[in-house]
Amino acid sequence: MMPPVKNCDVTECFYNQARKCHAGAINVGGSHPQCDTFTQSGTHASPSDRGSVGACKVSQCKFNHDLSCTAPGIDVSHHLAHADCITYEPR
Ligand code: SF4
């Protein structure tokens, strides 16, 4: 099952409503645990009831297995001008 995005502080994202993510499934990562689905926008929409972690490329995180997230849920917050998964923990 895809882990839910429990809270997201990045209210300037298109998918954010009241600090909840409503993207169908987000992608995390690269060399850095950032939300690759973040889309800066003045307008907002809810294409799904709640956001989940579809895929995560941050293989160095202890929750990562086969480039998928196995955490019970994640939180997302600001890092500089983008959005980071703050549930990330190095192995
Ligand atoms: S988790 Fe990512 S896609 Fe979802 S609202 Fe936050 S920044 Fe946007």
Given pLDDT bands bounded at 50, 70 and 90, which one contains residue 31?
confident
Q: For position 25, what pLDDT does the model report? A: 97
Q: How is residue 47 written in tokens? A: 């294409």
Could you tell which of 6, 7, 9, 10 is best to mutate to test the pocket of ligand 1, judged by most ligand atoms within 8 Å of the CB? Answer: 10
Q: For position 1, what pLDDT does the model report? A: 86
Size of the chain in residues: 91
User: From CA 91, how far away is CA 77, in angstroms rounded?
Assistant: 21
Judge if pTM exceeds 0.85.
yes
Inform me whether the pLDDT recorded for 10 exceeds 90: yes
pLDDT averaged over every residue in the chain: 97
User: From CA 37, how far away is CA 57, in angstroms rounded?
Assistant: 13
Inform me whether the pLDDT recorded for 30 exceeds 90: no
28 Cβ closer than 6 Å to some ligand 1 atom: no
Inform me whether the pLDDT recorded for 62 exceeds 90: yes
Could you tell which of 27, 34, 74, 76 is best to mutate to test the pocket of ligand 1, judged by most ligand atoms within 8 Å of the CB? Answer: 76
